[in-house]
Amino acid sequence: MTILSDRRLIWTFSLCGLVAIFSSTLSKTPVLPLFASNLGASDVQVGLIAAASTLPGILISYIAGAMSDRYGWRRLLLISLFIFSTAPIFYLLLDNYYQLAGIRFYHGFATAIFGPVAMAAIVSVSGARKGEMLSLYSSSTIIGRAAAPFVGGFLLASWGFNGLFLVCAIAGTAALILGAGFWGRIKQGDAIEITKKEAENGGLVKNLLALLRHKKLLLLGFLEAAVFFAYGAFEIIFPLYAMGLGIAVWQIGIIMGLQLAGVIIFKPIFGRLSDRVGRAPVILLGLVLCALTMGGVSFWDSLIGLGVLNVGFGIGFALVTSSTRPFAAELVQSNQLGASLGVLSTLMDIGHMAGPPILGMITVILGYRAGFLMLAAALIIITLICGYFLGQVRDGS
């Protein structure tokens, strides 16, 4: 296999991902609810508009991954970067919230395509370092996601909606130029061996059904859905809980920022660890830590205590997610990398989207502490189930 500058390629993926996700998040946090409300949308309509961008991830992540298996990653990633660069321009032209919902739906295709396809490409050139390289890419996108709200708040206060969306377009275009400039010089299948083999006979539907019968892959998809369910629920409900305890908003921001910093810093380290010691032990350790810290939130309500628990949850989340994607890549054939990671992305999006409303309903009925305890109990049950089945996977059964 001839490889053209693998490390340089992975760094290009990471940098493109950072800038593109920064652009996408900048168009959402904190501007989207304010912009939608300014266009006349009610609170319910704001929620529906926000959900519009998540639907493409559920609808086409598998298709995008499968298409990359058949035709290669380069064209698909350039299409996604084109969407990243053009979608913000339409925000400057709309005049009602119905159009905003349509634009959010269009914008959602960018991340729905980019995520699984970029990860499949990275896996194909990472050799035995899949966990480390995937985690490096993931941490880069998290940096972009974390920086966007701070920059967005400043831009919104200084330049208003139009100025913010213009910066979104500039960032998206920068990612497109970077990707086109570097990836355009790579001939797939010549300069780099990648998953461009033809997919199995029978097309997308037959391949999808085959992957959905892959019990080990579904186990990892269920695990990802569960941990992103917990993460999504926690990031939305915890600030409300902390405010009820009398903690200042700026202090909540620091606590949540520390959690995110833990994910960014430790994820590549844990990815390298899973490359060396195996995926299952790292995943199970992360699940246990997530469960313990989630339960601890119900009992330890001081500022320092909640800060420690947030960091602990972030580390547990990093342990799990640094290992699930490379584990999935090792379970399937090389011409199914994109499709399998697309399936995982779809299940992850479903879990992430379902977490906040379900935990929100539980806390309305039973209170915050009971909600966090129930989430911790669910994670413990999932740990026990996954411990049994992951042991079977490791044993080759």
What residue segments make up the domains of the chain, in order of their start?
6-183, 208-395
CATH topology of domain 208-395: Growth Hormone; Chain: A; (1.20.1250)
Residue 85 identity (one-letter amino acid): S
pTM of the model: 0.74
* Cα separations in angstroms, 211 against 116, 124, 194, 382: 15, 19, 20, 22
- pLDDT at residue number 120: 82
Q: pLDDT tens for residues 58-108? A: 888 878 877 877 777 888 999 999 999 999 999 999 989 999 999 999 999
Q: Is there a common fold for 6-183 and 208-395?
A: yes
The CATH architecture that domain 6-183 belongs to is Up-down Bundle (1.20)
SS (H, E, C) 154-169: HHHHHHHHHHHHHHHH
Q: pLDDT tens for residues 165-185? A: 999 999 999 999 998 887 765
- pLDDT at residue number 193: 41
| Contacts of 152 by beta carbon, 8 Å cutoff, 6+ apart | 25, 26, 29, 30, 31, 164
> What is the tally of helices (H) and strands (E) in the chain?
14, 0
Local structure of residue 192 (DSSP, 8 states): B
Q: pLDDT tens for residues 219-258? A: 788 888 888 888 877 876 777 788 788 888 677 777 777 7
